[in-house]
Amino acid sequence: MVLPLETLRAAPKVLLHDHLDGGLRPATIVELARDVGYGGLPATDPAELARWCHEAASSGGSLSLYLRPFAHTIAVMQTAEAVERVAFECGEDLARDGVVYAEIRYAPVFHTQRGLNLEQVVDAVRRGFERAEARYGIVLRQIVAAMRDRTDSLEMAELAVSFRDRGVVGFDIAGEEAGHPPKAHLDAFQLCRRENFSITIHAGEAFGPPSIWQALQYCGAHRIGHGVRLVEDMAIADGRVVKLGPLAQYVKDHRIPLELCPTSNVDTGAVATLSEHPIRHFLAEHFRVTVSTDNRLMSDITLSEELSRLSATFGLTLADVERLQINAMKSAFVGYDERVALIYGKLKPGFARLRGEPALAASLPPTA
């Protein structure tokens, strides 16, 4: 039975892979473009702009084409006020969708074209998130991203670490995988490892298992952003996994979280259709699977809708959805005590209510 979208919206959810500049409200883009004098928008009607962003991102079936609309979202995020507004609205939109914890990533260097320095960008995001937290009770944390085709990844890692006590919980590297291997940025990852700082790396989306292998074994990634092409290291016959390759076995055995973004993976051509997405194999083989949105504007998706599509396509039950949320919370980059508090204070009671079960107030979290 397909889970009703209303049920999924009411479920407490955790989001680990979402880009700040990929989730703007179309009306906000139009307003900010007017405020800053940006005349490059393909449409000034919010509904038409939303359609254009989704069609532009999904029509080419490649990551490079998927990234085209970001030129416009980034163009309007060049003042502290604009960045703070976008961060606040991100938190507001996620909270209204039932998200209780989210890690939002972005590349601060993209928001310095009109005079902001890197620290001012990160601080503007912090202010926006704190306002959303105070109003809606959602927990929001930042992941600072560097870009694979640039040479300033060490500076971005230093920036991320310097804000570790002000809402930044991780470091990422994003952008085109082909021709830009993660090991080219070893200095940045080694800094994070020396500083006991969490790392997630975009890998296994537009490039195959070697990208995932480098992210783990050279760079020390704690999570893999996407990782959908890990399936290429798995032998499949008659619709089921019959053998795991050494990399897939390592990922499974070491409980390395996969930040899967199914709708985005279809839009970028990483998989042909949702029904062919290997999430079904990862779930069947008990990998640490998490589900995220990637870019809510570009893929025209919310986390509830993402889960609804998976329920319709693969028969996910409410118990499956709960397991995915607990997987995500276990894999979050906040401290252990906060993860446990959210699992036992938000996730488990929320799903118990949806099942019509008694409150879990007496449930005790594990101590180890």
Residues known to be catalytic:
205
Contact indicator for 138, 99 with CB cutoff of 8 Å: yes
The Cα–Cα gap between 27 and 268 comes to 25
Give the distance, in angstroms, between the CA of residue 191 and the centroid of all CA atoms in the same chain: 23
CB atoms closer than 10 angstroms to residue 68 = 16
The Cα–Cα gap between 262 and 133 comes to 27
Nearest of 210, 216, 202 to residue 153 by alpha carbon: 202
The Cα–Cα gap between 18 and 102 comes to 8
Contact indicator for 108, 144 with CB cutoff of 8 Å: yes
Listed in sequence order, the residues at least 6 apart from 61 whose beta carbon sits closer than 8 Å to its beta carbon are 267, 268, 269
What does DSSP assign to residue 115? S
| Angle at alpha carbon of residue 251, lines to 245 and 254, rounded to 5° | 130
What does DSSP assign to residue 20? G
Q: Crossing angle for the helix pair 26-36 and 80-96, nearest 10 degrees?
A: 170
